[in-house]
Amino acid sequence: MTTDETRLLRRRMHAQFGPAGPHEAPSAGPHEAPSGGPRGPGRSGRVAAVAGRAAGVQAQDAAAARLGLRARGVDAAAEVDAAYRSGEVVASWLMRGTLHLVPAGDLPWLLRLFGARNLAAGAGRRRQLGLTDEICEQAVALLPEVLAAPLGRADLIAALIGRGVEVDPSGQAPAHLVAYAAARGLLCRGAEVAPREPGYVLRPGPPPGPPEPPGPPEEADLAALAVRYLAAFGPAGAADLAAWSGLPLTACRRAVAAAGLPEVAPGLFAGPGAEPPSGGPDGGPESGPESGPVVRLLGAYDNYLLGYRDRTVMLDPAFARRINAGGGVVRPALVADGRVLGRWAAERSRGTVTVLVEPFGPIPGPVREGLRAEVAAVGRFLEVAAELRIARP
């Protein structure tokens, strides 16, 4: 690996996981994010602040989302549940049409960017499932009455059927109907209503108007998105933002230009404070002989592995299939100083968790020490005893 690649990875690790203010949402710089929502730890809880600094955490797998927040500074899984219950954070279908956990105050402007796009993208599948526009709008009109209290999806669909909405509860139609209502800005995911059963709640605020076709994104919203993305993922470029967000490359070029952030390498931009503390002769590494490598156990579908157009520098193509297993699956990964060194799984039994690491090759001694510390941190996060097992490469 070249010196430039090493420095790039360490800067990205610092942006994702570094100690420089992980519990603070980033400033939107010259273009303040137009949500009017909470911004710093004094006005929002830690989970909301970490989610904001991460530009949202992919959340179709609730356990993996918790691990993503842990790797970025949240101390306990119970904090995440409490943040959902308090309404500090919500989950909705946003970037790439995928469920993301975000600060509640950011949802309005994110829906302006992604709501109409996601509605249009799902229209064909809704028609295949018999979800006509009339049926979808009938359901949307009934939601304020139905969601007087949080409901799981099955109960929500049953309540709508009981009020005359024609939807097949046995297939994929319920999921697409809920996603439609979320893209319309009516509901979002909140706290679980039962173990592993997410609850749906009305989104705070006035009811939205009629659905509109997707149009050109507003400059201020694009700038806010680019500022958040580059603070969380930089150094990165417009093509990376397009891969992460699902927005057209032309819009992402506009977004990066509107953000007004410095170009730190050809075609790559980063937010303020992106440079890690100097720990070595090249002035860039965050780790060094005294501090050791930066090691993280990342959950499935982690932002770090989904945020860039090209992951070659992070993940050796020879081992890519062991992380990207096909069918959209992204497995939990062991990362040290920006490089993916293996995958892992957690096996829980009788109040303990065993972290089984399957490395791609021999694990260097300093990384092994960092891995032991990470396993202990995972145990504290889950409030169980944790032990490490390392398989042979």
pLDDT at 80: 95
- Return d(Cα 309, Cα 299) in angstroms, integer: 20
Mind spelling out the 3-state secondary structure of the chain?
A: CCHHHHHHHHHHHHHHHCCCCCCCCCCCCCCCCCCCCCCCCCCCCHHHHHHHHCCCEECCCHHHHHHHHHHCCCCCHHHHHHHHHHCCEEEEECHHHCEEEEEHHHHHHHHHHHHHHHHHHCHHHHHHCCCCHHHHHHHHHHHHHHCCCCECHHHHHHHHHHCCCCCCCCCCHHHHHHHHHHHCCCEEEEEEEECCEEEEEECCCCCCCCCCCCCCCCHHHHHHHHHHHHHHHCCECHHHHHHHHCCCHHHHHHHHHHHCCCEEECCEECCCCCCCCCCCCCCCCCCCCCCCCCEEEECCCCHHHHCCCCCCCCCCHHHHHHHEEECCEECCEEEECCEEEEEEEEEEECCEEEEEEEECCCCCHHHHHHHHHHHHHHHHHHCCEEEEEECCC
Model confidence at 217: pLDDT above 90: no
What would the two tokens of residue 206 be? 């006035």
What tens digit of pLDDT does each residue of 247-272 get?
999 999 999 999 999 999 999 999 87
The pLDDT of residue 39 is above 70: no
pLDDT given at position 151: 97
Give the model's pLDDT for residue 19. 58
Closest CA to 283 of 18, 7, 14: 7
Q: What pLDDT is attached to residue 120?
A: 95
Q: Are 298 and 67 in contact (CB under 8 A)?
A: yes
pLDDT at 45: 87
Contact (CB, 8 A) for 295 and 335: yes
Contact status, residue 24 vs residue 49, Cβ threshold 8 Å? yes
pLDDT value at residue 239: 98
Residue 184 has pLDDT above 60, yes or no: yes
pLDDT 10s digits, 98-124: 999 999 999 999 999 999 999 999 999
Q: Are 29 and 260 in contact (CB under 8 A)?
A: yes
pLDDT of residue 36: 36
Place of tokens 């490089």: 339
CA-nearest of 324, 291, 346, 292 to 77 is 346
Residues near 43 by beta carbon (within 8 Å), at least 6 away in sequence: none
Label residue 205 left, alpha or beta by phi (over 0 means left) and psi (-120 to 50 means alpha). Answer: left
CA atoms of 263 and 25, how far apart (whole Å): 22
Looking at 153-157, 177-181, 213-217, which range is the least confident one?
Answer: 213-217
Kindly state the average pLDDT of the residues 56-62. 94
Of the pLDDT bands very low, low, confident and very high (cuts 50, 70, 90), residue 204 is confident
Q: Give the distance from CA 41 to its chain's centroid.
A: 19
- With a CB cutoff of 8 Å and minimum separation 6, the contacts of 197 are 152
Output the CA torsion 18→24→28→34 (10° steps): 140
> Inter-axis angle of helices 153-162 and 173-183, to 10 degrees?
90
What average pLDDT does range 272-298 have in this prediction? Answer: 64
Mean pLDDT of 376-381: 96
Q: Round to whole Å and give the CA distance between 73 and 385.
A: 20
Tell me: pLDDT of 283 over 50.
no
| pTM greater than 0.85 | yes
What is the predicted pLDDT for the residue at 327? 87
Alpha-carbon distance of 45 to 58, in angstroms, equals: 19
Instruction: Using CA atoms of 186, 191, 195, 196 in order, give the dihedral in degrees to the nearest 10.
Output: 50
263: left (phi over 0), alpha (psi -120 to 50) or beta: beta
Residue from 246, 231, 249 nearest 115 by CA:
246
